[in-house]
Structure 1
Amino acid sequence: MRAVDIISKKRDGQPLSNEEIAWFIDAYTQDTLPDYQAAAFLMAVYLRGMQPAEIAALTLAMAHSGEILDLSDIVAYAVDKHSSGGVGDKTSLVVLPLVASCGVPVAKMSGRGLGFSGGTLDKLDAIPGFTSDLPEARFRALAKESGLVLAGQTKALAPADGKLYALRDVTATVASLPLIASSIMSKKLAAGANGIVLDVKVGNGAFMTQLDEATTLAHMMVDIGVRAGRDMVALISDMNQPLGHAVGNALEVKEALETLNSSGPDDLRLHCLEVSAHMLRLAGRGERWTNLTETKAYLEQQLDSGAAFQKFRQMVIGQGGDV
């Protein structure tokens, strides 16, 4: 194959085969294809778009450009969540220990913030001593011991995405929905999840400001996951105002802890219950937690009893944080 032929096909709006996409991504990851050809490919995708099968093929090629995390020795069915991010979005700090307190192990690799909102790891950095830079052996040990671990993504997971994102950033191709969807989902697939809950934010405090764009992105990511054999749920949530009251990493950790202690703002509590209920429904695999109303009531008990807070505290201690 020749890169120029693949670029010209996409430039002319023709669909690419799975083999062409896999070859291109592998060549770029292995540094046998120059940045200028990858940049031309990205711009062709930006201008011409991609069909659903192409987006799925691109995502799988990026996911398989590095290691695929296997969590089967920790949990038979791994469930994960992803938020597209927004101002005051500290959902993961509440949802992950809440789900783990229900007996569902959560071994999550998370990222840092992009743009104006801090990522989950940025927020956890506000806890003195907390470390998210964990060797894989320690990551697995903590997941088995406490049922909850939250670590930074390693460069071994979806390295093609890291290279392509850096190139998108300097070639004005960040805003392509197929490229956004494949970037997010390549990391989710590589991180070993069987079921994924997507929380797509929309509004002036999110990266997606228009509902139609957010809806299209959600559909794209669900389609990718289904084609890859994953169970998928997508929620679209309003981010025209901050979630909760606090904005800023340390303040958001404080507010998350208040929510885990059965107080905190109502909007944050309700949203976390919604996301957590869908995660439990996936984890239940049709055998339990099938009724969302009953599941939310059970999750409220976990918050009110302090079980979710204790699970968060256990995670912080295990990862060296000051409690």
Structure 2
Amino acid sequence: MEAKEMQSFDERRSSIVEGVVSESQKEKKDAYIGSDYESKEGARILRILERAAEPELLMAEMTSEQLNLFSSYQAKLESLRQSDLQKSLEKALQAAGLAERDVTPFMRVRVVGLTSRSTPMKCCPKEGLITIWNPTEKQQCELAEGQAFTVKGLTPISSDSSTLYLQAKGSTAKWVPLSPEAIEHFEAFFCPRQSISLSKLGEVPMSREFDIAVVVVFVGQLYKEAHQMKQWVFVTDGSTVMLNSNDESETLVAISFTAPCVGTDSFAPINSNLVGSTVCFCNLIKRARDNINNLWVAEATENSTYYLNYDNSHCSHLKDAGASAERWAKISGLRLEKLRGRVLSIIS
């Protein structure tokens, strides 16, 4: 998305630059530069040459002093033209809001509050989603899943029944790791990421995140809804088929992607070339099941991501599932074609 935004920004700037340069070339700026003798004489020679039928012959008859005056005046005139062009460009880009592109990097960290073992009242700990603006390199390296920290410098934004939303500036937020000895005083707080197979998707609570390794069956076209572009992608992992070889129900997940409208072009979250590929998705949100079409439904949010290589360190927990899905796909060409046909009948 960032690459697409940058491309659109550059294209809009280029369009304005071309227009300003074109207008500049139509205007002839040959006024005197200064009132000194050299400038006046250089301008006089330029006007004579512009009216001459054969300026080359005139220049051949000029003295070295006249040629130097002419060359000096041309250099000054070109410098003036470039200066005026630069000012015109800056003014036009400023008026169009394209003088500069201010982008602030950020990262998001999902956290859970720690509960002391000595607390008599046990309750479900509150979860939080922290947005760190301009994170430091140290934060990007040290903030790892399963680590416990004391944090200072957070600002609450909003809250719902399950999640507290906070934000911080990378330079002001302090993340201090807890020692192993200090962690012993708290209840267990970390559940490592797990791979969820399609056959176990029913066990995932509604609206909760899950990670899955799948084979892409069908990639839908982008379509506009409100002020956003949407895309549906249909995937499978073969787990339900392997459990019930003759039953092809509940073998598909329909994943909804949302992309921003960027100018006249739109960025497709999933490329159609990925059909047949094994992809690892992280942080998908489970949505209400489509019982009419017998489909599981998931949503990819701005916190979701995917990897084309299940050996990637960021999705190492999906390595075995990814390898299994890929093996299944290699020997299940006919089943995949049937699933594509089923998807086509659904969307038609």
Per the normalisation by structure 2, the TM-score is 0.27
What is the TM-score with the length of structure 1 in the denominator? 0.29
Q: Which has the higher helix share?
A: 1
Structure having the higher Rg = 2
Q: Higher RCO, 1 or 2 (CA under 8 Å, sep at least 6)?
A: 1
